[in-house]
Structure 1
Amino acid sequence: PGGFERLTSLPLTPNKKVDRRALPAPQQVRLDVEKTSVAPRDTLELQLIKIWEKILDVRPIGVRDNFFELGGHSLLAVRLFAHIKKLTGKNLPLATLFQAPTVEQLANILREKGWTAPWSSLVAIQPGGSKPPFFCVHAIGGNVLTYRDLAYHLGPDQPVYGLQAQGLDGKQPYYTCVEDMAAHYVKEIRTLQPEGPYFLGGSSAGGMVAFEMAQQLHAQGQQVALLALFDTYGPGYPKPLPTASSFRRKLYRFIQRLDLHLRNLFLLEPEKRTVYTLSKLRILKKRIRKKVKRNIKDMTVGSFPGIKYFLPRSLREVAQANRQALSSYVPQAYPGRITLFRASKQPKGCYPDPELGWSGLAAGGLEIHEVPGYHGAIVEEPCVRALVKQLKVCLQKAQSAEPIEQRLASLVYFLLSFTLQILLPC
């Protein structure tokens, strides 16, 4: 709310309802964004402010305003960093926004002479907290900004780390094999946490890589307490029905997106619905404008319109390498338990499979939780709130469970004590 007014009592109508017309006019006391924001103090901060205002379509922006709180997300971050590279010549990893989410902090990094972005697949999304860390693997795009909302709703006591794809910096070699990718990520997480139990997760394609990580950790004698797959498709899923046409699938995807936004509106607080609607309309306006420009370019130079024109080359190549890796990966039966968070809305025109293709691949059992939303959307606002509500229960259960080694040791001790009591006289 823009302000608060304290009243000793509420005026009532003869029917004992609040008489809104009789309420006194509120005092003009509110937070003025323009007065509290900090203006740019040099040319670099001014240039960055202009880029932020263009990308986020928000004005005015102060040097200490948070990118994510202004409505920023992974796709906007890609455009933002492409502009920054064009301005400064420096190629910053998208994960830099976790440590430097303001213009002021980004400017400080860019001012450092000889500064080069330190590269690691392991990214601290939310490093604080007393609980065991939860490791989340990137989806097909390779970056881990999509887990920011999930980490936020898990709370400050739950550490969350992301695993971003190697090659996003344009320097490291890409992985085109899931097994190699998983081996690299296992090595990375063991530098932070040398011994289990481990808590792994991944959205969409990231869940398949997390699955292979769990396989390798188990082969190394390590315990995986939780393997959480966020609407990750197993082998052979989805399998289109013979009658499903290409037009019907495209129509379904359109209805899917429309229904998603309508459901999101109902999940948001009333005062946030207008902001959400206007932001989506602005995005639609920009997409239509870009589509027209790209089609004109297509007619003149014979290029193919699409998302690749605003994606940096490194991101396009990482996504292609990830697709290649997943297409050749053949998952084997996993000796542990899989926890699958399935989106409530699954592709139409396909054979129904409530297990999303994971049947028979979890020797320790397949636990399924349904989350309102569509594929890929359940880890983002506002659907992520329902996901986190269920994920917290699973994490708490897995974190409180006694390790298998301790349970076996306790059982052996009990059996030995019981045997000695029988054999030895009192």
Structure 2
Amino acid sequence: MVTDYLLQIRTVQPTGPYHLIGSSFGGLLAQAIAARLRDQDEEVALLGVLDAYPGGVGRFVTSEERPPDTGTGPDGADERERAMPADMDAVRMGVDDRLRASMEKVVRNAAAFVPDHTPPPYPGDLLLFVATEDRPAQLPVPEAVDSWRPYIAGDITVHELPVGHYDMFQPEPAARIARAVTAALEVPADV
């Protein structure tokens, strides 16, 4: 997957500097792509990860976590559909069943891949955004941040956001993320 993504990126931009940001499962991909680029002597000027961690990416819902289909609830939605995470609401609304099924399959496949993934070492810095609300009990904020330390040789700059994993792209947290990324991209003027 990393090789394919890297080929797609290099089709658009053959050489660095690269700016990579990924959210949830995409954060693990961004880190792995950044490591591969650095192995190829390319410059990665920014690596940002939004609420993704080695061994787990927030609260991906797998088929094991979803309740069995118990029929249609009072609001017309079946029980499994109502159990989908909040970020899948957009998938339920305004798209056909085939696309929704494909999106759900991607989420389940990513969830199955993550526990066995070991991030490659990355020699640069990491800009890490952590959703602090509704955290999984087994991954409190300090442990979530520390989970990256064995794989990041540079500094880890942490921005805690007082929202849940699936709310990071709501207007207020998204604006905070944008301000932090903009600040990280600013080049200091020579004095």
TM-score by length of 1: 0.34
Report the counterpart of residue 253 of structure 1 in structure 2.
Answer: none
Q: Secondary structure at the match of 1:392?
A: helix
Matches for 1:219-238 after TM superposition, within 5 Å: 219-235=39-55
Pick 1 or 2: higher relative contact order, CA cutoff 8 A, min separation 6.
Answer: 2
Corresponding residue SS for 2:76: helix
Q: Tell me the residue number matched to 1:369.
A: 159
SS in 1 for 2:157: strand
Contact kept, 8 Å, 2:126 with 2:152, in 1: the verdict is yes
What's 1:393 paired with?
183
Residue aligning to 2:63 = none
Residue-by-residue CA offset, 1:375-412 (whole Å, 9 max, x unaligned): 13122223211221222101224xx699xxxxxxxxxx
SS of match in other structure, 1:290 = coil
* Matches for 1:252-267 after TM superposition, within 5 Å: none
What is the SS of the residue equivalent to 2:166? Answer: coil
Q: What SS does structure 2 have at the residue aligned with 1:194?
A: coil
Show the counterpart of 2:16: 196
The equivalent position to 1:321 in structure 2, one of 84, 109, 112, is 109
| CA offset digits 1:139-179 (Å, max 9, x no partner) | xxxxxxxxxxxxxxxxxxxxxxxxxxxxxxxxxxxxxxxxx
The yes-or-no answer on 1:208 pairing with 2:36 is: no
1:214–1:348 Cα change, 3 Å: closer
Question: Separation in 1 of the partners of 2:138 and 2:112?
Answer: 23
Deviations 1:288-308 (A, max 9, x none): 5123xx36xxxxxxxxx3359
Give the Cα–Cα distance (whole angstroms) in 1 for the partners of residues 143 and 123 of structure 2.
17
Contact (CA 8 Å) 1:182, 1:213: kept in 2 or not?
A: yes
Shift in Å at residue 311 of structure 1?
4.5
- Which consecutive unaligned segments of at least 5 residues does structure 2 have? 59-72, 85-90
1:229–1:338 contact (8 Å) kept in structure 2: yes
Please list, as runs of the form range in 1=range in 2, the aligned pairs for 1:28-177 lying within 5 A after superposition. none
- What does residue 174 of structure 2 align with? 384
Match of 2:70 in 1: none
| Residues 281-326 of structure 1: CA deviation (Å, up to 9, x unaligned) | xxxxxx85123xx36xxxxxxxxx3359974232233233323332
Shift of the 317–359 alpha-carbon distance from structure 1 to 2, 3 Å rule, reads: same
The answer to whether the 8 Å contact 2:2/2:29 transfers is: yes
What residue identity is the alignment partner of 1:362? I
Aligned amino acid, residue 344 of structure 1: T
Q: Sort the Cα spacing of 1:388 and 1:367 in 2 relative to 1 into closer, same or farther, 3 A.
A: same
1:360 match: 150
> Once the two structures are superposed, what CA deviation does each residue of 1:20-51 show, in whole Å capped at 9, x if it has no partner?
xxxxxxxxxxxxxxxxxxxxxxxxxxxxxxxx
Query: For the residues of structure 2 that align with 1:212 and 1:348, how far apart are their CA atoms?
Result: 24
Unaligned runs of 5+ in 1: 1-180, 239-286, 296-304, 403-426
Q: Percent identity?
A: 30
Partner of 1:66: none
Give the drift of 1:361. 1.6
Q: Which amino acid aligns with 1:207?
A: G
Higher strand share: 2
Q: Which amino acid aligns with 2:44?
A: V
Pick one of 118, 121, 131 that aligns with 1:333: 121
Cα shift at 1:342: 1.4
Instruction: Quote the Cα distance in structure 2 between the aligned partners of 1:401 and 1:311.
Output: 52
Deviation at 1:340, TM superposition (A): 0.4
Alpha carbons 1:341, 1:368 under 8 Å: kept = yes
Aligned residues: 161
Q: Which residue of 1 aligns with 2:135?
A: 347
Cα gap change, 1:188 to 1:362, in 2 (>3 Å): same
Is the Cα contact below 8 Å between 2:51 and 2:128 reproduced in 1?
yes
CA distance in 2, matches of 1:378, 1:367: 17
